[in-house]
Amino acid sequence: MPRLAGAFLIAVFAVLPSEAFAQSGKPLILSITNAASYSTGPISPGEMVTIFGSSLGPAGLVNLTLDGQGRIATSLSEVQILFDGVAAPLLYVSQNQLSAMVPYAIAGRQSSQVQAVYRDVASNAFSKTVALSAPGIFTADSSGKRIAAAINGDGTVNTTSNPVTPGSYLTLFLTGEGQTNPPGIDGNIASSTANTVLPVSVRLGGRLVQSLYTGSAPGNVNGFAQLNVAIPADLPFGGNLPLGVQIGEAFSQPELTVAVAGPPAPLPGTPQLLQVVITPSNQIALTIAVDNKPNMRVHIERGVGAGAFSEIASVLVPANVIPPTQASLTFTDQDVTMGTQYNYRIRAEGDYGFSGYSNTVGASVPTPQVSPPSNVQSVAVSQIEVKLTWNAANTNATNFQIERKTGAAGTYAPLATVPNTQTTYQDVTVVANTAYVYRMRSQSSSGLSGYSNESSVSTPALPLPPAPVIQASAVSSSQIHLSWISTATGILRFRIERRASTGQYAEINQPGPTATAFDDLGLNMATVYSYRIRVETSAGLSPYSNETTATTMQGLPAAPTNLTGVAPSSTQVNLAWTNNARDATAIRVESQAAGSASFTDIGGAASLITAGLTSLLPNTNYRFRVRAQSSAGFSGYSNEAVVTTLPPPKTVFLVHGLNQTHLDMKNLALNLASPYGLAAGRFTVDYGFDFSDCVESNPRSCGSTCTIPGGAQRLAQHIVDANPPGDVVVIGFSLGGLIARDMIANNRIILNGRKIDLVTIGTPNLGYPYLPTDSLVFCSAIVSAMDGNWRAQAGSVRLSNYLFSLTNQWSNYGFPGNGRVWFAASGRAIGTPTRLGSGCKDTNPFSDGVVCQDSAAYNVTTSAGTQPNRSWDDPNRIYVHSFSGVTSLILGNTSDQIKYMPLYDPPPVPGGLFSTLTAILNQM
């Protein structure tokens, strides 16, 4: 498509007519016209319009500027034009005239209220009807008539002396074409073509011609269009042929031509005014003679008194008038005033143009005998009421007709008819801050009188509403919430304006009269925005509110990564992760237990990098995930961590040996529960069982209640009272091993499905003297239970059946559990210990705790499988069983007892025997 539209657009700015109006302080809109045709009819979306008035802008003409988006700016030299509150792109502004592009947003409306704002002062609201299209063709002399501004097919300007050649094409320029496809954008400079949505038809010399393209003109603002038409090669005539363009249901302006090469076209003959008569209803009827040709139309013009002629009607000649060469028409002028001289002339319009004017004929409707009211006066009683008074004497009227117009340039319309006895009238249909003009006339049986004097009045302006109070707060990275308070009454709407940083304010929304809040969406994150608001009533716009500022939030926080978890116990999981969100205010933890269909938010973590979760189910598989939370919202989720809680902890019961109490187990219990002992979370240690029946300090001997079955029952009751949740491990030391073994072997305890394991370390000395103090303790009940003291039988040695049963064949007892450990501690040999003067030479590599030379001297042998299934060999070859007051299980002479206590040597260097014991337990 040709790209010459820009030249014509500039030309339009330069040659638009300027009218002088009286200057006042407040902007005033007097008329809004199509910028090409100067038609005052409806406006259409995207149309270029010219607005006339006063105080509309600066004294000198200021041309358009482009905004930051490369579009025509909507604010120019402190001027804005608002169509229903939407700011329009401005082409130029001046004091009495400006030009704007109608916003496409008015599409679909019946009408639009137009206001001019200059230096924050708003004009009157000027109402315009809205149509889908309102085409106006730009003309060569910017008059809206005569030859169109057009480009011939060879690129030259179309003029009478440079007509377009039939068979080529012509480019015209227009505005008011309506919406395009793709849709037009307010103020946008078209970079490519966009077709008009509505259908387009073009007539040239009365003939329908082909439209090649109608739409945006590349390089020009959306709404300034071009029209390419094909000039038929078989046109019979040339000259300045009439041009008519129809877009949708709307037509371009009349008296529009383009120059076409060819022989001059025949113009219609000049019509004649045959007769002018006054009708009985005081109207003027014209009889017209005109050629009867196809598409013939008669244009009727009238002059009032000595005034200029203007067209008052256009009449199409009927196609079937007889005789065929001549038509006679009648036209009645109903808008006449009695006593006023009217002059009429006519001309015919055919397919090829206009005829000359006819003869001029004058006429006047005689003034009736009735007289109009006199001394008509109007007074503004308030902003919304005007009082009329008049003198009715000598009028001979039966009633009075009152007419009113708005402003000096308005058109009179009937207001009311009142009886002839009435001399006042209250007009309560007026609005504030508006000029009105009134006139009256009398009516009688003889007709209507002439009009009375005119009376002008202006209603006072309503007081401007008070300014609202507004505040803003950021909701997210793209949203700011506004709220306001207004004490104004009669609110029409609110007008919200916004600017970013130090930019200019622009209106962004018009909430309704009852609104108190607005959410501004789609903003940039971490950006400062300022807002102000005005309230609009029928009195106008209030002053601006306070300025309020808010900064949008940052974007959503970054998601955590590297989530890991460990279970230190049966009810706790510890989580750790990498926090990647500097703005995080919390880390939310979600869990999903095995069998659950979804994750559950279990709360915020104690810190931004770790969380300790308690009160979990034992031996249960959990999935965890975390996400960061900030004032902007939530991040995405981290990776998932799968953790299984530990089973319920085993309870280790320590059972002391002969001639000891539970306090002898305390240090061992503390070491087992230390970081150098049992695996954390898997065990608890109980050393509370006390079988002091087997130690009496005075006299130092075993009491009668010191029996293995009695101890086994007491131990079973202690375990039941402690009521641990998980499995049970019993460590029986010396005599404690016999008690625990009896409890298991004879099923003296019921654990309801829980397992019980046993570690037995050695067997009791039974009072056989190794040290002098040993002879003070003799446990006869235990010896009896073990079928006698085999070492006291002369001439023969016999191990009792009880001792024979000290094997690792625990399965024979069928008790729940799988951890039966007979643990023997051996020193293999000893130097020169004393036993009442005779040496002890026990070399048994697996001692059962009953030591010294008797077991070796009688060369006792046992069958396979009777040996302890775990043992510890003391590298120092020290061989001491135990001594009162501590749990040592030291194998060696008494001189080593103080310095060598391997079962509870303080960490971090526990004794070798302690390490072996904890290894046995940790493997269970």
21-30, 371-380, 395-404, 846-855: range with lowest mean pLDDT: 846-855
pLDDT given at position 20: 37
Place of tokens 């227009």: 174
pLDDT in tens, 256-280: 999 999 999 888 889 898 889 988 8
- The rounded distance, in Å, linking the Cα atoms of 105 and 119 is 25
Distance CA 756, CA 750 (A): 10
Give 843 or 356, the one with higher predicted confidence: 356
User: How far apart are the C-alpha atoms of 756 and 810, rounded to whole Å?
Assistant: 12
Residue 774's SS3 state is: helix
Q: Given a cut of 70, is residue 403 above it in pLDDT?
A: yes
Determine contact, residues 848/868, Cβ cutoff 8 Å.
Answer: yes
- Alpha-carbon distances, residue 418 vs 315, 377, 427, 443 (angstroms): 37, 16, 12, 10
- CA–CA separation, 484 vs 517, rounded Å? 6
Residue-wise DSSP of 433-500:
T-EEEEEEEEEETTEE------EEEEPPPPPPPPPPEEEEEE-SSS-EEEEEE---SSEEEEEEEEEE
The C-alpha atoms of residue 636 and residue 384 are separated, in whole angstroms, by 62
For residue 738, which of 630, 843, 848 has the smallest C-alpha distance?
848
Cβ pair 92, 211 in contact under 8 A? no
Work out the angle at residue 506's Cα, subtended by the Cα atoms of residues 503 and 511, and round it to the nearest 5 degrees: 140
Residue with the two structure tokens 């101890």: 711
Residue 656 vs residue 621, higher pLDDT: 621
Stretch among 223-232, 614-623, 856-865 having the lowest mean pLDDT: 856-865
Mean predicted lDDT score pLDDT of the chain: 81
Average the pLDDT over 369-391 and give the result. Answer: 92
Q: Which residues contact 2 (CB under 8 A, 6 or more apart)?
A: 151, 155, 171, 226, 228
- CA angle, residues 889, 891, 897, in degrees to nearest 5: 75
Q: Comparing C-alpha atoms, which of 155, 148, 266 is closest to residue 205? A: 266
Kindly state the tokens that stand for 522: 């789609």
Could you tell me which residues are beta bridge partners of residue 301? 311, 345
Is there a contact between 456 and 534 (Cβ–Cβ < 8 Å)?
no
Taking only the tens place, the pLDDT of each residue in 425-459 is 999 999 888 999 999 999 987 788 889 999 999 99
3-class state of residue 924 by DSSP: coil
Do the strands 211-216 and 207-209 form a parallel or antiparallel pair, or are they unpaired?
unpaired
pLDDT score for 424: 96
Paired tokens of 314: 């256009």
Cβ-Cβ contacts under 8 Å for 748 (sequence gap 6 or more): 712, 713, 716, 742
The rounded distance, in Å, linking the Cα atoms of 207 and 197 is 23
Alpha-carbon distance values, 689 to 141, 214, 745, 786, 912 (Å) = 120, 105, 19, 23, 26
Residue 226: pLDDT over 60: yes
Contacts 24+ apart (CB under 8 A), 301-307: 301/344, 301/345, 301/346, 301/347, 301/357, 302/333, 302/342, 302/343, 302/344, 303/342, 303/343, 303/344, 303/345, 304/340, 304/341, 304/342, 304/343, 305/340, 305/341
CA 740 to the chain's CA centroid: 70
Task: Return d(Cα 103, Cα 218) in angstroms, integer.
Answer: 19
**Confidence at residue 832, expressed as pLDDT on a 0 to 100 scale:** 39
pLDDT, tens digit (0-9, with 9 covering 90-100), for 143-196: 999 999 999 999 999 999 999 999 999 999 999 999 999 999 999 999 899 999
Tokens of 97: 């005239």
Asked if residue 779 lies in contact with residue 695, where contact means CB atoms within 8 angstroms, the answer is no
β-strands 111-118, 79-83: how paired? antiparallel
| Higher per-residue confidence, 764 vs 605 | 605
pLDDT at 156: 95
Residue 136 to residue 173: CA distance in whole angstroms? 9
The pLDDT of residue 819: 57
- Is residue 792's pLDDT more than 70? no
pLDDT grade for 749, boundaries at 50, 70 and 90? confident
Percent of the chain whose predicted confidence (pLDDT) is above 90 = 50
pLDDT given at position 532: 96
pLDDT band at 103 (very low <50, low <70, confident <90, very high): very high
Tell whether the model's pLDDT for residue 859 goes beyond 50: no
Q: Which of 262-266, 422-426, 498-502 has the lowest mean pLDDT?
A: 498-502
The pLDDT of residue 835 is above 70: no
Q: CA 79: distance to chain centroid?
A: 34
Q: Using one digit for the tens of pLDDT, what is the confidence trace for 865-904?
A: 444 556 666 555 554 444 444 434 433 334 444 444 456 5
- Evaluate whether 55 touches 118 at the Cβ level (below 8 Å): yes
The single-letter code of the amino acid at 172 is L
Give the model's pLDDT for residue 771: 42
Q: Are 890 and 901 in contact (CB under 8 A)?
A: yes
Please, which pLDDT band fits residue 836 given cuts at 50, 70 and 90? very low
Quote the pLDDT of residue 697: 55
Nearest-CA neighbor of 120 among 463, 464, 515? 464
**Any idea what the Cα angle at residue 183 is, between residues 182 and 186, rounded to 5°?**
135
Of 315-329, 590-604, 682-696, 697-711, the range with the highest mean pLDDT is 590-604
Q: What is the pLDDT of residue 781?
A: 62
Judged against a pLDDT cut of 60, whether residue 657 lies above it is answered with: yes
The yes-or-no verdict on residue 805 having pLDDT over 80 is no
Q: Return the C-alpha torsion angle 827, 828, 832, 833, nearest 10.
A: 50
Calculate the CA dihedral of residues 629, 630, 631, 633 and round it to 10 degrees.
-50
- Residue 476 phi/psi, 5-degree rounding, is -155, -170
Q: Which backbone phi and psi does 50 adopt, to 5 degrees?
A: -115, 130
CB 55 within 8 A of CB 110: no
What residues form DSSP beta bridges with 86? 83
Q: Which residue has the higher pLDDT, 50 or 758?
A: 50
Place of tokens 């130690």: 695
Q: What is the pLDDT of residue 919?
A: 85
pLDDT of residue 61: 95
Name which of 385-394, 432-441, 566-575, 856-865 the model is least confident about: 856-865
Encode pLDDT of 276-309 as tens digits.
998 888 899 999 888 877 788 899 999 999 999 9
Distance in angstroms (rounded) separating the CA atoms of residues 887 and 898: 12
Phi, psi dihedral angles at 274 (to 5 degrees): -80, -35
Compute the distance between CA of residue 831 and CA of residue 215 in angstroms, rounded to an integer.
119
Contact 112, 100 (CB under 8 A): no
CA 715 – CA 731 distance, rounded (Å): 12
- Name the helix (H) or strand (E) containing 705: none
